[in-house]
Amino acid sequence: MSAIALEQPPETSVDWPALRKDFPILDQEVNGHPLVFLDSAASSQRPRQVVDAIRHYYEHDHANVHRGIHELSNRATAAYEDARERAARFFNAPSANEIVFTRGTTEAINLVASSWGRVNLKSGDRILLTEMEHHSNLVPWQLIAQETGAEIVYWPVVDTGEALDWEAFDRLFTPEVKLLSCVHISNSLGMLNPVREICRRARENGTIALVDGAQSAGHYPVDVQEIGCDFYAFSGHKMCGPTGIGGLFGRFELLSEMPPYHGGGEMIEEVDFSGALYKAPPHRFEAGTPNMAGAIGLHAAMDYLDAIGRARIFEHDAALAAYAYEQIEQLGNARIFGPRNERGAVLSFLLEDVHAHDLVTYVDQRGVALRGGHHCTQPLMKKLGVVGTARASFYFYNQLSEVDAMVDALQRARRLFGDASWNDAAYWQNSSMTAPMKRKGNDLGPSSLMSDLLEVYPWAQRALFRKYHIGGCSSCAFKPDETLAMLCERNDSLDPAEVLQHIRESHAEDTRIQISPKETADRIQRGESIRLLDIRTKEEWDVVRLPAATRMSQESMQDILTTWPREGLMVIYDHLGKNSLNAATYFQGQGFANVRCLTGGIDAWSQEVDSSVRRYRLEAN
């Protein structure tokens, strides 16, 4: 697809460092380092102007809206409706009556799925979603598809994760597709989707189009009329506004035909014992007392962003993302997700042999705030063959020096976690937990220099960091000319013998034969048992699977139970019904001690282990 053209910003330049002064939260240290906040895709920070607007409302104008005729209520109502008018201008909606205030993007999409979907979808219809959708633009459609009998089809992302598969789109986009919903800027890939072209194709097909604008509303000059979408959802807290406020743009003719989403006060014209007459949009969809302060804060945020210029903001953010892409790429052994060009302010990546959670935990010790995990896009992560990624996300208050600080922390993390000798059995001089650690005849005990200890056992850095957070910040970094005893004295008077014992135990654990989470799932599926060690609690479990227990005879159940160990048992329980809640009690009644049950089958097991990679060791029995 062709590049997306932006409106040209005015000639006047922006003093980006001066804007940072509007965000007092950024002026602080975290773990002894200046805060580098690179997590705005999850939630942006708020400038003083937004905080002041909310404070002024609460101190001078607060009252419930629409329902009173006194002065404070009139002021609050005017401010609330002014915020709606401001949102209409911000997104270039034809009318303020096409802006529905919600708690955010998630509720806005649920509103459309519930109100429009229940009326318009039926068996035989299709819903087209991309494979990169946030759970907020996936689960609501799954729920409504189950209710209406409609089918969800998925528009693939190419295997490299760099673009949508347009050949597949041509095959999938049939007349049966009644609704197409896609993200504007992917929160995991940073991909900037050509929503104008997508919505044009939707109109030609007679398909309703919804755009998830959570990552674009505050970063990009959004014009819903130019895009040509039927619905556009956004969140205030990702665009310098308060939490708990967002909205939905919907074409008025569609909103007028949709039934209420919630019932209660404020959304009615008249009520009697036989029924109710509902207000016209948008108030039809705003039952109950609204978030007045949130709307006022959102108004201030939109004013603030437009004073800078969203085209300028996008170019600034894209430049930061491009620079970060180049710097991380130069680290080597890094996998970066999403396109190199035409991307938003989001950059997801992995460093080879370093789990995303370890990476994010370590850089936090150097003041760098990243996010690690699946980013509410689990199906996409599975498509890409990863459990999760580390993610840096940028905004106009970030600067190049912060990217450099992040890259420096990543380099340190790679040195800490990325040594290939961790799993090289030939590297170890002695695998015993109790024997002294020696190399070239030198006893590496508490009196050894840290440089010697860490040179011989680079994995010991990880052991020290994970348990004691030693090595993550300048105040507790390893000094090569001090002994382990001196290091412990400098760090909260830790006992060097205890620390050394922990290193030895970590050494012994690291040299045990391990198998991957995927292999454990395969083995358990085949009926084999797996040994699981909980590093935090030192508990050990035999992991077994009980397939569809409620459909088995009592005799078959007893035959299975006799083969299981009587203590330290983790049962993967396939049954999803209410009886599964009493599974642990049942097994305890059968004479088992220390039983833990995971309901939901192999999928539940995989999620448990994938989300706790740092906690568990997995071994074949």
Radius of gyration of the chain (CA): 28
- Coil/strand/helix, residue 134: coil
Which pLDDT band, with edges at 50, 70 and 90, does 487 fall under? Answer: confident
Q: Burial of 299 by CB count in 10 Å (0-12 exposed, 13-18 middle, 19+ buried)? A: buried
Could you tell me which residue, 584 or 167, shows the higher pLDDT?
Answer: 167
pLDDT number for residue 271: 95
d(CA 410, CA 102) in angstroms, rounded, equals: 38
Give mean pLDDT, residues 259-288.
Answer: 95
pLDDT number for residue 553: 56
d(CA 68, CA 343) in angstroms, rounded, equals: 47
H-only helix segments in 228-291: 252-257
d(CA 90, CA 305) in angstroms, rounded, equals: 10
Q: Is the dihedral of CA 223, 91, 253, 209 positive or negative?
A: positive
Q: What residues contact 226, with CB distance under 8 A and at least 6 apart?
A: 92, 196
pLDDT number for residue 451: 61
Given 376, 476, 488, 597, which residue is catalytic?
Answer: 376
For residue 102, list its beta bridge partners: 246
pLDDT number for residue 550: 44
- Tokens 């295997």 appear where? 159
pLDDT number for residue 588: 72
| DSSP class of 181 | E
Give mean pLDDT, residues 443-461.
Answer: 57
Tokens representing residue 598 in the block: 């995971």
Q: Mean pLDDT: which of 5-9, 101-105, 614-618 is highest?
A: 101-105
Give mean pLDDT, residues 553-574.
Answer: 67
d(CA 483, CA 500) in angstroms, rounded, equals: 12
pLDDT tens for each residue of 251-260: 999 999 999 9
Q: Count H helices and E strands in the chain, helices first.
A: 23, 24
d(CA 212, CA 138) in angstroms, rounded, equals: 11
Could you tell me which residue, 103 or 587, shows the higher pLDDT?
Answer: 103
Tokens representing residue 423 in the block: 């799993």
- Tokens 């922390």 appear where? 409
Mean pLDDT check: name the lowest of 17-26, 50-59, 399-408, 567-576: 567-576
- Say what angle helices 496-510 and 459-468 make with each other, to 10 degrees: 120
pLDDT number for residue 192: 96
Give mean pLDDT, residues 375-391.
Answer: 94
Average pLDDT, whole number, for the chain?
83
Mean pLDDT check: name the lowest of 35-39, 356-360, 576-580: 576-580
Q: Which amino acid is at 476?
A: C
Could you tell me which residue, 357 or 15, shows the higher pLDDT?
Answer: 15
Give mean pLDDT, residues 305-331.
Answer: 96
Could you tell me which residue, 514 or 109, shows the higher pLDDT?
Answer: 109
Q: Burial of 86 by CB count in 10 Å (0-12 exposed, 13-18 middle, 19+ buried)? A: buried
Residue pair 465/472 in contact (Cβ under 8 Å)? The answer is yes
Which pLDDT band, with edges at 50, 70 and 90, does 548 fall under? Answer: low
How many other C-beta atoms lie within 10 A of the C-beta of residue 266?
Answer: 17
344, pLDDT greater than 90: yes
Could you tell me which residue, 180 or 509, shows the higher pLDDT?
Answer: 180
pLDDT number for residue 357: 85
d(CA 586, CA 581) in angstroms, rounded, equals: 10
pLDDT number for residue 220: 96
Residue pair 368/409 in contact (Cβ under 8 Å)? The answer is yes
Mean pLDDT check: name the lowest of 18-22, 157-161, 271-275, 426-430: 426-430
Q: What residues contact 150, with CB distance under 8 A and at least 6 apart?
A: 117, 121, 122, 123, 124, 125, 126, 127, 144, 178
pLDDT tens for each residue of 122-176: 999 999 999 999 999 999 999 999 999 999 999 999 988 899 999 999 999 999 9
Q: Which amino acid is at 436?
A: P
Which pLDDT band, with edges at 50, 70 and 90, does 442 fall under? Answer: very low
H-only helix segments in 113-272: 117-120, 139-148, 166-172, 195-205, 224-227, 252-257
pLDDT number for residue 127: 98
Q: What residues contact 502, with CB distance under 8 A and at least 6 apart?
A: 463, 464, 467
The strand pair at 593-599 and 567-573 is best described as parallel
Per DSSP (E only), the strands in 52-165 are 99-102, 126-130, 151-155
Whether 376 sits among the annotated catalytic residues: the reply is yes
- Bond from prior residue into 282 cis (ω within 30 degrees of 0): yes
Tokens representing residue 86 in the block: 């401001």
Percent of the residues in the chain that have a pLDDT greater than 90, as a whole number:
59
pLDDT number for residue 520: 67
pLDDT number for residue 545: 74
Give mean pLDDT, residues 78-96.
Answer: 98
Cα 433 from chain centroid (whole Å): 39
